[in-house]
Amino acid sequence: MVSVEYEVACQTIGQLIARQVELIAMEEARAEPNQAILAQAISARAALLAERDALPPY
């Protein structure tokens, strides 16, 4: 059975991932995107995805 803590952690990390996706989209929409900001947001998103995927579901 999946624990409540696991569900909360997945939801919280999911919200953080969504924020990074939002930042990436906003930056990409600019006439001249800041590549450093894009790289940081993409890296943060990847780290959050890895963290979420590594959570044990119990």
* Cβ atoms of residues 14 and 46 within 8 Å: no
- 10-residue averages of pLDDT along the chain (58 residues): 91 98 98 98 99 93
What is the model's pLDDT at position 13?
A: 98
DSSP string, 1-58: ---HHHHHHHHHHHHHHHHHHHHHHHHHHSSS--HHHHHHHHHHHHHHHHHHHH----
For the chain, the domains span 4-52
* Cβ atoms of residues 48 and 16 within 8 Å: yes
Query: At which residue do the structure tokens 């995927």 appear?
Result: 53
What is the model's pLDDT at position 2?
A: 80
Predicted TM-score of the model (pTM): 0.89
